[in-house]
């Protein structure tokens, strides 16, 4: 370190001198810095000894900064402003890294994909996340209201006012019990046949339900009302296995159908593919920090 560099005052000293110039009193400047008047005076004297310059003049009316002190205040103004911005940025970074990330996700994503993503996020970024599993419509509402920092939805959903990015692809599968008439069919089901039968289904607001209903409508076949409406994929699987009507499920949720005594039923003329999307509020890019980190993890192939 050079001799000249060693004679530079530190940031707290420069800030104290600037406050004396602004407030006109060593005592007031000390209070602004959270120190006593005696400590403030000692710090100013140490600065004068360090710089070799008179910086503050004591008067009956208080204290005033000398011409040399005023120059030092002016020269250090930009440095103090930059230091304030750096301190604010570091504080924001610490708060962002320490707070929990609030995630809402549709059932398929929450049950089958997010657990793995969150393990990677915690291992790589030390971010702790809280997860709420619900349907896609409720996910979008939570992100809009600020209850969720980030959401994941499946299939068609109303994302007005939100930004989104596709992170994965999924496909729906029509499943039936082994003794169901559709399980024994040799030919593929056409849209009109599927639409005419009341199915076991997720509730309204579910991305899975919206996806298969839209697929039928797009094929020119409006579906009838479901035989049963359930709020989880596990309940749908159990209902079909118990003899309920067939159901559309994500290929992730369907898993090993033989474990449930179910089979996949072939269809034709239906586009059953869908995007799984991350959704957030704000700009076109996910907010920097844990939100962007998790979107990046989810989008890895």
| Structure confidence by residue, pLDDT tens digits, 179-200 | 999 999 999 999 999 999 999 9
Determine the Cα–Cα distance for residues 275 and 157; give it in Å rounded to an integer.
Answer: 11
- We report the CATH number of the domain holding residue 44 as 1.10.10.10
Whether 25 and 91 map to the same domain: the answer is yes
Q: Are residues 198 and 271 in the same domain?
A: yes
Residues 123 and 36 in one domain: no
Q: Is residue 118 part of a domain?
A: yes
CB count within 10 Å of CB 257 equals: 18
- Label residue 93 by pLDDT band (50, 70, 90): low
Contact 189, 197 (CB under 8 A): no
Distances (CA, A) of 188 to 154, 183, 193: 26, 11, 10
pLDDT score at 294: 96
Q: Is the pLDDT of residue 154 over 90?
A: yes
pLDDT at 97 over 60: no
pLDDT at residue number 165:
96
Ordered DSSP codes for 60-80: TTEEEE-HHHHHHHHHHHHHH
SS3 54: coil
Domain boundary (97, 128, 151) is at 97
Say yes or no to pLDDT of 256 above 90.
no
- Where a domain ends, among 45, 66, 97? 97
Do 163 and 251 share a domain, yes or no?
A: yes
Confidence label for 273 from pLDDT (cuts 50, 70 and 90)? very high
Distance in angstroms (rounded) separating the CA atoms of residues 258 and 263 = 7
How high is the pLDDT of residue 131? 94
Instruction: Reply yes or no on whether the pLDDT at 173 is more than 80.
Output: yes
Write the CA distances from 284 to 23, 41, 161, integer angstroms. Answer: 45, 52, 11
Is the Cβ–Cβ distance between 143 and 279 less than 8 Å? yes
Same domain for 83 and 176, yes or no, is no
The CATH number assigned to the domain holding 229 equals 3.40.190.290
Backbone φ/ψ region at 164: left (φ over 0), alpha (ψ -120 to 50), beta: beta
Q: Are the C-beta atoms of 140 and 157 separated by less than 8 Å?
A: yes
| pLDDT the model gives residue 266 | 96
Same domain, 18 and 90: yes
Is 199 part of a structural domain of the chain?
Answer: yes
300 within some domain: no
Assess contact for 129 and 294: CB atoms under 8 A.
Answer: yes
Least confident segment among 8-17, 240-249, 277-286, 288-297: 8-17
Is 74 contained in some domain? Answer: yes
Q: Output the pTM of the full model.
A: 0.65
Q: Is pLDDT larger for residue 119 or for residue 256?
A: 119
How far apart, in whole angstroms, are the C-alpha atoms of residue 116 and residue 2?
53
Residue 225 burial (CB < 10 Å; 0-12/13-18/19+)?
exposed
Please count the structural domains in the chain. Answer: 2
Residue 94 has pLDDT above 70, yes or no: no
Q: Which residues pair with 164 in a beta bridge?
A: 279
Residue 301 lies in a domain: no
Where helices occur in 251-289 by DSSP H, the ranges are: 251-254
pLDDT above 50: residue 2: no
Give whole-number Cα distances, 171 to 129, 238, 270, 274, 275, in Å.
27, 20, 11, 6, 9
pLDDT at 5 over 70: no
Round the CA-based radius of gyration of the chain to a whole number and report it. Answer: 32
Domain that holds residue 68: 3-97
- For residues 110 and 252, membership in a common domain is answered with yes
Q: Looking at 63, 97, 131, which one is the last position of a domain?
A: 97
Q: In this structure, are 275 and 260 located in the same domain?
A: yes
Which range, 2-11, 48-57, 77-86, 190-199, is most confident? 190-199
299 in a structural domain: no
Distance in angstroms (rounded) separating the CA atoms of residues 157 and 81: 46
């Amino acid at each position: 370190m050079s001799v000249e560099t060693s004679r530079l005052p530190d940031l707290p000293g420069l800030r104290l001198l600037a406050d004396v110039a602004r407030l006109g009193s060593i005592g007031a400047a000390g209070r602004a810095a959270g120190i006593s008047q005696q400590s403030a005076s000692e710090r100013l004297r140490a600065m004068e000894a360090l710089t070799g310059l008179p910086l503050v003049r004591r008067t009956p009316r208080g204290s005033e900064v000398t011409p040399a002190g005023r120059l030092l205040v002016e020269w250090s103004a930009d440095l103090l402003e930059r230091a304030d911005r750096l301190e604010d940025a570091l504080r924001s970074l610490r708060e962002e890294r320490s707070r929990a990330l609030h995630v809402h996700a549709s059932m398929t994503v929450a049950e089958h994909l997010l657990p793995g993503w969150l393990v990677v996020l915690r291992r790589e970024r030390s971010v702790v996340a809280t997860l709420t599993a619900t349907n896609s419509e409720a996910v979008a509402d939570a992100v809009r209201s600020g209850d969720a920092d980030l959401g994941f939805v499946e299939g068609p959903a109303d994302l007005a006012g939100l930004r989104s990015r596709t992170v994965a692809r999924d496909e729906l599968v029509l499943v039936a019990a082994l003794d169901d008439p559709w399980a024994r069919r040799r030919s593929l089901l056409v849209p009109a046949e599927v639409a005419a039968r009341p199915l076991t289904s997720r509730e309204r607001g579910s991305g899975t339900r919206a996806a298969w209903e839209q697929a039928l409508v797009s094929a020119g076949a409006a579906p009838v009302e479901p035989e049963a409406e359930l709020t989880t994929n596990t309940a749908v699987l159990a209902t079909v296995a118990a003899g309920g009507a067939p159901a559309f499920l994500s290929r992730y949720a369907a898993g090993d159908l033989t474990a449930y005594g179910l089979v996949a039923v072939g269809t034709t003329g239906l586009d059953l593919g869908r995007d799984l999307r991350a959704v957030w509020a704000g700009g076109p890019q996910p907010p920097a920090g844990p939100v962007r980190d998790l979107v990046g993890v989810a989008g890895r192939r």
